[in-house]
Amino acid sequence: MKEMESVNWKVEGMSCANCALSVSKYLEKEGMKNVKVNPIDGDVHFEIVELDEGVAKSLTRGIESLGYKVVDEKLATSSATSRPPMNKYLRYLLICLPFTIVLMLHMIPGLHIHGLMKPWVQFALCLPVYIVGMSFFGRSAIKSLASGSPNMNVLIAIGATAAFVYSLIGTLMGQGDQYLFYETSASIITLVFLGNYMEDVSIQSTQRELNKLAKSQKVMANMIAFDDRHQEIIFPIENTQLKSGDLILVKNGEQVPADAKILWGQASVSEAIVTGESLPVEKKAKDKLIGGSLIIDGTVKAQVISAADQSVLANIINLVKKAQGDKPPVQKLADRISAIFVPVVLVISLFTFVGNYIYLEDFTSALMRSIAVLVVACPCAMGLATPAAIAVGLGRAAKNGILFRNAKSLEAFREIRQVVFDKTGTLTTGNFELGGFQAMDIDEAEFKRIAYSLERYSNHPIAQCVTKAFKSSTEIRWAKIEEVKGRGMHAFSKDGDEYWASSYALANEHTDEDHHNVYIIRNNQLIGWIDVKDEIREEARTVINYLHSKNVKTILLSGDRQRKSEELGKTLGIDTVIAERTPEEKLQIIENLNEETPTAMIGDGINDAPALAKATIGVSLSDASQVAMQTADVVLMNHGLKNLPLALGLGKHTLITIKQNLAWAFAYNIIAIPIAAFGYLTPTFGALVMGLSDVVLAINSVRLFVKRVY
């Protein structure tokens, strides 16, 4: 079976959530899998077995037949540095506004301009506004009706057209004084453009943190090459042209153009754009640089290890974009209502007209009330309730080095009642330090010299810890030394003595104490042992205490020895300790815990991958360069446990914001539509209120940027 290909497109022209629903339905009907459409920034993600040129063209034509436009992101990227075009809603607003203002002058008390009251003058002023409005709302409405997914523009187009045609009929019949509603048609169109512009600006602000990351993707790089004489040449090149293996020079104050490894030089580097950490990090030869980070002080020569589109930063942005297109279960009801909202409003508008005509026996009043119902209704609010909040929540999380793989994880955090921690590399740093040692029948200084001389030839983390602790200038010159896998270091001195630095597997004949890390053996006789301890993360205790304050049970699940695990659990105050377990056993334990109550598993994302996948929420502590390879639902980058409370808080409060948005959207429509139907809201004021309803929703979502969440 062929592997599914992941496709990311940019689609322009989506003005509401119903538009996104239309695109999503079309792609699913064409057989695309895992379709995610983000109406906020136009990102469309789907999976297909193979996307050849013919299929791509067919899908593009299909999407464009719905009234939208598929944009080539490469072309968009190449023009990103040029001046951005004016917002389309602002452009339409500026065209319509002068005509609408003049049309409405006669409504100002005490101001009577006789010429403006003439029907044909009002028709001439309204016509340009109506044509501009229908070129946008009308075209979109017709295409959405043809696709079977009517959008908000159907309501606007019908409302504006009804007022315009009614006025035109009166003008043609010579009864214009009783039929003058041209200003109603023009004001509906103009105010909806104003509302759309305000909504667009406020919604786009929800993307600001992600936009900062995206802008950091494209920079100029100093590429190093060599001429025929092997002399070094440095020339500028866009980082999008860099490939793995290229050599680059990054100078003081410059941005690192791509993920790279330092070959020469030292630098102080700010990785805040990726990790959220403001303090600079010292980097030297062989250290890795993250693309998008900034050289605060120093100059380095480095080798590119990832092309721009495969960099850590690119992976972060793609990950967040996919998550933003996802929908948590709480949105399902809103989606079902949005899908039938426009037809329902059309029916309500029809009943409003008929009922008011029968009751009032006045065609004009009945028509105005039915038009008010059309323009005050707002399906956008329900559709945008979730993506607006998710965009903010995920943007703030990305800024702080927290990556949610899907929006479902946000809602799942609400149910978490217990958190399971791995030990090494999770609660501890993985950086070993000397815990203690014992020399037997040998001088302590000589014991240290022997241990140092053996372990300095090993790259094992424990050996490096011993080497650092026992560093000596009088090391032993071995006649022969080798590292035996699974056993330790084996050496012979020039005098013929045999030495081992090994685990308990070789020392079990000499002692019953099996809890030490390194045993030093000389000529088959134990001469001492060494213990190392893994350094506890400084934030571990704070995080455990935070979880306890929220009545969340904590569990340590480790493959390490029971005694060491219990010591760590006691030090940190962990509720339950389960040790000496294989990855298979960990998986079974997580499965059992999940049956009891929703469980989060925190691990390194590699050895614990099965357990992370099985948990209600898997949280991975990841080295930034491996972020794209993690299998967890949530990835905490570079900070260890530090941001776990923020991740939990953002999950909870993003869901709260979604519910607040949905409550506002439902309440607004439930209240506004009847008010319009009973004549307490004019079409003009209804159009203004409809536009402002989405702005309220966006402002509530933006609060997540600054809201205290834990």
Question: What secondary structure letter does DSSP report for 698?
Answer: H
Query: Residue 431 — φ and ψ, nearest 5°?
Result: -100, 110
Residues 28 and 48 in one domain: yes
Average pLDDT over residues 581-606: 81
The domain boundary residue, chosen from 279, 310, 341 = 310
Could you list the active site residues? Answer: 422
Tens digits of residue pLDDT in 108-149: 655 566 667 788 888 999 999 999 999 988 888 887 787 777
Give phi and psi for 620, each to the nearest 5.
-110, 135
DSSP, res 137: I
Among 78, 101, 116, identify where a domain stops.
78
Regarding whether 541 and 526 lie in a shared domain, the answer is: no
As given in the structure block, the two tokens for residue 368 are: 């105005």
Q: Is there a single domain that holds both residue 555 and residue 620? A: yes
Q: Does position 77 have pLDDT exceeding 60, yes or no? A: no
Q: How confident is the model at residue 177 (pLDDT cuts 50, 70, 90)?
A: low
Q: Per-residue pLDDT for 518 more than 50?
A: yes
pLDDT (tens digit per residue) in 386-442: 777 877 887 788 777 787 777 677 777 777 889 999 887 788 876 778 888 999 989
**Tens digits of residue pLDDT in 310-335:** 666 666 666 566 655 556 566 566 66
Render pLDDT for 13-62 as a digit per residue (tens, 0 to 9): 776 666 777 788 888 888 888 888 877 667 788 888 777 788 888 888 88
Of 687 and 250, the structure prediction assigns the larger pLDDT to 250
Are residue 649 and residue 541 in the same domain, yes or no?
A: yes
CATH code assigned at 48:
3.30.70.100
Lowest mean pLDDT among 217-226, 484-493, 517-526: 217-226
> 541 and 498, same structural domain?
no
Q: Could you tell me the CA-to-CA distances from 278 to 186, 275, 343, 566 in Å, in that order?
A: 51, 9, 52, 35
Calculate the average pLDDT of the chain.
Answer: 80
Grade residue 629 by pLDDT with cuts at 50, 70 and 90. very low
CA 297 to chain centre: 30
446, 413: one domain:
no
Mean pLDDT of 67-88: 59
Domain carrying residue 440: 430-535
Place of tokens 């001195």: 493
Angle of the 53-65 helix axis to the 139-147 helix axis, nearest 10: 120
pLDDT, tens digit, 9 for 90 and up, residues 542-576: 999 999 998 999 999 887 667 778 888 999 999 99
How much is the pLDDT for 239? 75
* CB of 625 closer than 8 Å to CB of 258: no
Q: DSSP string spanning 132-170? A: HHIIIIIHHHHHHHHHT---HHHHHHHHHHHHHHHHHHH
pTM of the model: 0.65
Alpha-carbon distance of 552 to 278, in angstroms, equals 30
> Are 417 and 554 contained in the same domain?
yes
Q: pLDDT confidence of 273, banded at 50, 70, 90?
A: low
CA angle 604, 610, 612 (to 5 degrees): 55
In this structure, the answer to whether residues 395 and 544 fall within a common structural domain is yes
Residue at which a domain ends, from 484, 510, 535 = 535
pLDDT given for residue 548 in this prediction:
92
Given this model, what pLDDT does residue 78 score?
41
Counting Cβ atoms within 10 Å, is residue 227 exposed (0-12), middle (13-18) or buried (19+)? exposed
Does 168 reside within a domain? no
Report the domain count for the chain.
4
Rounded CA-CA distance 625/623 in Å is 6
Give yes or no for residue 83 having a pLDDT over 60.
Answer: no
267, part of any domain: yes
Cα–Cα distance between 381 and 473 in angstroms, integer? 73
